[in-house]
Amino acid sequence: MAGVSASARGSSAASPAPGAAFIFKKALISALVALVLFSLMIGVRTEAGSDGQLTYMTRFGDLAAMVATVFGGSIVVELLRQWWGPVGTIRIVPPSVQSGLALARRGIAPVLLVFTFLVPVIFYNERYILDLGILVLTYVMLGWGLNVVVGLAGLLDLGYVAFYAVGAYSYALLATNFGFSFWICLPLAGILAAFCGVLLGFPVLRLRGDYLAIVTLAFGEIIRLVIINWQSLTGGPNGVTGIPRPSFFGIPLTPGDDGLAARLGIEFSTTHRIVFLFYLILALALLTNWVTIRLRRLPIGRAWEALREDEVACRALGINTTTTKLTAFATGAMFGGLAGAFFATRQGFISPESFTFHESALVLAIVVLGGMGSQLGVALAALVMIGGFELFRGLEQFRMLVFGLAMVLLMIWRPRGLIGHRAPTVFLHHSQAISSDLVKEGHG
Amino acid sequence: MKTDCILNVDHLSMRFGGIVAVNDLTFGAERRKITALIGPNGAGKTTVFNCITGFYKPSGGSLKITHDNGRQIQLERLNDFRISKQARVARTFQNIRLFPGMTALENLMVAQHNALMLASGLTFLGLIGAPSWRSAEKRAIDLSKLWLERIGLLERADDAAGNLPYGDQRRLEIARAMCTEPALLCLDEPAAGLNARESAALSELLLRIRAEQDTSILLIEHDMSVVMEISDQVVVMDYGVKISEGTPQQIRDDPKVIAAYLGADEEEAIAVMESEA
């Protein structure tokens, strides 16, 4: 199918305006390929019969509908492509529109930030939106954390969820076994996760690209399997229950006499806790953002980016690539651990179910989609990925399909992510964005 | 030792399996001088460079660097980044290895990593924005500015290194190596791909480094106009062994060198040389 469409694209590029015959021929070929592919996948359905024997039924109606959709879709796509013109055409945009766009681009971050601060005020009575906001912010934080490893240092990490799990279990176990408060456990969770980051870093120092990805993937699974099997400590598949909720700097958010509501003399509401959690994760995410922005302007951050650009040149300049890689892993892991601790206190219950590969893939998708290395891009991508996923909830089982299609379209439109260019960390005269064509993606 | 050498290469050998790339090579690079390492393609020049700069571990022999304060370091015992950090040997690459997605200024800032790392209190002082870090950063930017000015790229400081013309990239790579404040600067074919005007600017830059900095230069070069113009001393290699050593004038007149380059036997080479003269 890919071959067919590629060759068709080649011929369409050769002749600028292909006629109706060409479009019809291309649609016919696509439909034929669809017929061959789907005749077995959709046309015939096999099932275990009542006695266990194999029975089959045909669904030629569905098959015909599918082939017709491909035929029609192919024509629509080709017409759209003609209307849009060939890829790479320079479209003249009036200067006023350009300056407007530039202003919008500069204004988007502060506007988003102010809006985020106001979300609990605007949607105070809408529990669903507040919960969704907390979820989005958790993924924003995870995205920003992974961005240090993948976006800045260029080390592909497919096992990021391991650090999320370490942070969550650190808080859960420390709080339930020793009764430590959230504010003591939070830094401890971060430190333990960072330690795990270094632990992962050592064996993968020499690996690059695909090999690095596979080992980090395995690391994520190892942590999950250890959690499942170390029943005496982690409770295994049953998880940890009764994780204490966070207190407002020592004052519990409970209906009792010593609760925050009673002390302030206002009526107790469960929304208080949700709002508190919202601002808590917002503060943690902003901390992650602030630290990352600061680190980029420090020698260590520049060394991370230099490592992504050219590791050999780094060594020739006397940069210790070992410690540079390890600090990148540790920093990313620490933020993952902090987010994990927050996750545990928010849920009140954690189990290995929450830390599957799916989470790693989701966070990595957020980073890649946002544009590797871009803080604003990652935040937007988290909003699109998590928020968009909720938006399609009405579509039920087609949700994944629509969502996947949206992702594919987005990556065609913006192959280097929503914000692909790189902002320099230091400048003499004026800061100008560096085109994504020049910025390397790192080799692992 | 009669001459004051910063680098002493002593009976250096490098073998890859059965192939002997460098065989029993001995030479010295004089302090605050420009030493050129020349030879036909495949003579083993870049292998020598990779041994000096720690990218290869030599199969035999020793590489000794003697700093101004008399401190001696055996290069073959250091690895990888420590050559640059401790022995203060910087290098450039035959195929330019800048950080293309970073600006020219950022490239020079990355080169000052080790000094800045200390100044930023291993990042912690820098994170809270301590005044000592701020002043160190300012000094680093000033040093970068100085080098950008010397290579004539001050105006393009904020352009991505990958966007600069080829000749500028070559000079930027040298400036980046100089920002590590090296005692010995190793340049692997700095004039490759440059036009006549650009190689003249390069010669000027290298002569200026020799005159103004405490840096000795060792370079591999095929462009004989550059070699003859700026070198104080030339070492000629062929098939992994040294075939000649001396001043540019001596090398120019050495029949062995001419034979190596023209692939002729000595009598023919002399004949060619005489016909040219």
3-state secondary structure of B233: strand
Q: How far apart are CA A58 and CA B168, in angstroms?
A: 69
Q: What is the mean pLDDT of chain B?
A: 86
Q: Please tell me the distance in Å from A331's CA to the nearest CA on chain B.
A: 12
Average pLDDT over residues A193-210: 87
Tell me the CB-side half-sphere exposure of residue B244, using CA atoms within 13 A: 23
Which H or E element spans position B255?
helix B255-262
Residue A249 pLDDT more than 80? Answer: no
A166 — pLDDT class (breaks 50, 70, 90): very high
Nearest partner of A387 among A110, A115, A104, judged by Cα: A115
Give me the sheet containing B89-91, strands edge to edge: B89-91, B184-188, B216-220, B34-38, B233-238, B241-246
The C-alpha angle with vertex B251 and arms to B246 and B252, in degrees rounded to 5, equals 150
Buried b (16+ CB within 10 A) or exposed e, A241-259: eebbebbeeeeebbeeeeb
Q: B53 contacts in A (CB within 8 Å)?
A: 316
Q: Would an 8 Å CB–CB cutoff place A98 in contact with chain B?
A: no
Q: Would an 8 Å CB–CB cutoff place A310 in contact with chain B?
A: yes
Q: A306 contacts in B (CB within 8 Å)?
A: 99, 102, 110, 113
Q: What is the pTM of this model?
A: 0.82
Q: Which two tokens stand for residue B108?
A: 């020079």
Cβ-proximal residues to B68 (8 Å cutoff; 6+ apart), any chain = B31, B183, B214
Contact B251, B68 (CB under 8 A): no
Q: Please tell me the distance in Å from A386's CA to the nearest CA on chain B.
A: 31
| Amino acid, single-letter form, for residue A13 | A
Question: Residue A362 phi/psi, 5° resolution?
Answer: -65, -45
- Provide the Cα torsion B239, B243, B248, B249; round to 10°: -130
Q: B110 contacts in A (CB within 8 Å)?
A: 299, 302-303, 306, 314, 317, 319
Q: How far apart are CA B249 and CA A16, in angstroms?
A: 63
Average pLDDT over residues A143-163: 92
Residue A128 pLDDT more than 70? Answer: yes
- Give the per-residue pLDDT at A104: 77
> Which of A152, A327, A428 would best serve as a mutation to test chain B binding (most B beta carbons within 10 A)?
A428
* Ranges A81-85, A428-432, B61-65: which has the least confidence: A81-85
- Give the per-residue pLDDT at A85: 62
B99, A306: Cβ pair inside 8 Å? yes
The interface pTM score, or ipTM, of the predicted complex is 0.87
Which residues on adjacent β-strands are paired with residue A73? none
Which DSSP category does A43 fall into?
Answer: I
Q: How far apart are CA B157 and CA A428, in angstroms?
A: 7
Cβ-proximal residues to B43 (8 Å cutoff; 6+ apart), any chain = B237, B238, B239, B240
Nearest partner of B76 among B130, B10, B22, B132, judged by Cα: B10
CB atoms within 10 A of CB B85: 17
- The alpha helices in A52-206, defined as continuous H runs, are 60-84, 95-122, 127-147, 161-178, 182-204
Q: Please tell me the distance in Å from A396's CA to the nearest CA on chain B.
A: 43
Q: How far apart are CA B205 and CA B207, in angstroms?
A: 6
3-state secondary structure of A298: coil
Contact A145, A197 (CB under 8 A): no
Residue A329 pLDDT more than 70? Answer: yes
Tell me the CB-side half-sphere exposure of residue B114, using CA atoms within 13 A: 19
Cβ-proximal residues to A130 (8 Å cutoff; 6+ apart), any chain = A119, A120, A123, A124, A271, A274, A275, A278
**Which DSSP string corresponds to A337-402?**
HHHHHHHHHHHS-B-GGGGSHHHHHHHHHHHHHH-TT-HHHHHHHHIIIIIHHHHGGGGGGGHHHH
pLDDT tens string B150-199? 998 899 889 899 989 998 999 999 999 999 989 999 999 998 888 888 88
Q: Which two tokens stand for residue A95?
A: 């200067």
Residues 154-173 of B with CB under 8 A from A: 154-155, 157-160, 162-163
- Give the per-residue pLDDT at B272: 56
> Which of B85, B96, B99, B149 would best serve as a mutation to test chain A binding (most A beta carbons within 10 A)?
B99
What radius of gyration, in Å, describes the C-alpha atoms of chain A? 26
Q: How far apart are CA B104 and CA B156, in angstroms?
A: 7
B50: closest chain A residue by CA = A316
pLDDT tens string B62-109? 888 888 888 888 888 887 788 888 888 999 998 999 999 999 999 999
A10 — pLDDT class (breaks 50, 70, 90): very low
CB atoms within 10 A of CB B140: 21
Residue A211 pLDDT more than 60? Answer: yes
Residues 14-73 of B with CB under 8 A from A: 53-55
Which residues on adjacent β-strands are paired with residue A225? none
Q: How far apart are CA A38 and CA A30, in angstroms?
A: 12
Contact B109, B102 (CB under 8 A): no
Q: Please tell me the distance in Å from A442's CA to the nearest CA on chain B.
A: 11
Q: How far apart are CA B202 and CA A20, in angstroms?
A: 60
- Give the per-residue pLDDT at B269: 54
- Give the per-residue pLDDT at A196: 92
Residue B213 pLDDT more than 80? Answer: yes
Which H or E element spans position B216?
strand B216-220
Contact B102, B160 (CB under 8 A): yes
A295: closest chain B residue by CA = B127
Q: What is the mean pLDDT of chain A?
A: 84
- Give the per-residue pLDDT at A443: 61
Q: Which two tokens stand for residue B147?
A: 């080098």
Cβ-proximal residues to B60 (8 Å cutoff; 6+ apart), any chain = B11, B12, B13
Look at chain A and count its residues.
Answer: 444
A427 vs B105, B148, B180: nearest CB: B105
Q: Would an 8 Å CB–CB cutoff place B180 in contact with chain A?
A: yes
pLDDT tens string A372-422? 778 898 999 899 888 887 877 777 777 778 778 877 887 788 777 888 788
Burial of A219 by CB count in 10 Å (0-12 exposed, 13-18 middle, 19+ buried)? buried
B158, A430: Cβ pair inside 8 Å? yes
- Give the per-residue pLDDT at A334: 95
